[in-house]
Amino acid sequence: MALSLRIFCLLIFFSLVPFSSTLAHSQAQSPATVTFTLDFPKSQPEYCSIRVQSDGTGHYESNGRLSADADENSSFNLDFVLAPGTRQKIFELTAKAGYFQKDVDSHHKGIAFTGKKTLSYQDAERSGQSTYNYSSIAAVQELTSLMQGLESTLEFGRRLQYAYHYQKLALEEELKRMEDSSRSHRLVEVTAIQPILEQIIADPSVINVSRARAKRLLDAAGAN
């Protein structure tokens, strides 16, 4: 009787192993995601979307003019990887904000329009989304600031890529502006655009002062 019970338990165990493996694999394939979008006509860019996953990977999309005197809008896409600390902070703030399952807009009258913003969250168990102009919720304010700082960094990467390929002399002014923004703590995750900065540093056809600026930016960001 004891032997039969032992065999039965073993059969149950081995029948559950494939299911457990499949479940774990499914969860690994579906990381939690936080998405921030900003729709702000006549600004630069006019639209952007930042998607960050719990494994640290991210994707950025934007549409707008490269500069105030550009004739047409252009689109931009970039995959990037966040530092663990920034990724953790994004998801901690998301949790504090209740995963955006309730309205986060302050609905205060008289507040200037600074673009239609949307924060959304999705994982295997919950989802939430809220659109706002301004929020009085501290966690949403901090998360919005972080995401817009990341947007600024990624837009610098967009302009640097364009200048590097089509107008190398414009790199100096762009890198100078980026250094000023970095000193004013207006940038987030400079390492997200590390590839283009490394290209500039390694290219002897770029003037030395620009290469030095790019290196200082990466050094300040703690890039390896």
Summarize pLDDT for 147-193 with one digit per residue, the tens: 999 999 999 999 999 999 999 999 999 999 999 999 999 999 999 99
Structure tokens at 108: 């205060």
Is position 15 within any domain? no
Q: Determine the structural domain holding residue 155 and report its residue range.
A: 30-220
In a domain, 58, yes or no: yes
Residues for the chain: how many in total?
Answer: 224
Residue 213: the pLDDT is 97
pLDDT value of position 24: 42
Find the helix or strand (DSSP H, E) in which 128 lies.
strand 127-132
Does 12 map to a domain? Answer: no
Bin 204: left if φ > 0, else alpha if -120 < ψ < 50, else beta: alpha
Burial class of residue 193 (count of CB atoms within 10 Å of its CB; 0-12, 13-18, 19+): buried
- Number of domains within the chain: 1
Residue 53 lies in a domain: yes
Backbone angles phi, psi at 37, to 5 degrees: -125, 150
What pLDDT score does 5 carry? 43
Cα 185 to Cα 174: distance, rounded to the nearest angstrom: 17
Q: What is the predicted pLDDT for the residue at 16? A: 40
Contacts of 36 (CB under 8 A, 6+ apart): 49, 50, 117, 118, 119, 143, 144, 147
How are beta strands 127-132 and 47-53 bridged, if at all?
Answer: unpaired
CB 69 within 8 A of CB 53: no
- 156 within some domain: yes
Residue in the block written with tokens 């329009």: 113
> What per-residue confidence (pLDDT) applies to 224?
63
The predicted structure's pLDDT at residue 12: 39
Q: Give a yes or no: residue 152 inside a domain.
A: yes
Ranges under pLDDT 50 in the chain: 1-3, 5, 7-27
How far is residue 218's CA from residue 175's CA, in Å, rounded to a whole number? 12
Alpha carbons within 13 angstroms on the beta-carbon side of residue 166 total 7
Q: Residue 10 has what pLDDT? A: 40
- Residue 29 pLDDT: 56
- Specify whether the CB–CB gap between 71 and 58 falls below 8 A: no
Secondary structure tally for the chain: helices H, strands E: 6, 6
- In a domain, residue 205? The reply is yes
Judge whether 79 lies within some domain.
yes
Encoded tokens for 195: 């590839």
Burial class of residue 20, CB neighbours in 10 A (0-12, 13-18, 19+): exposed
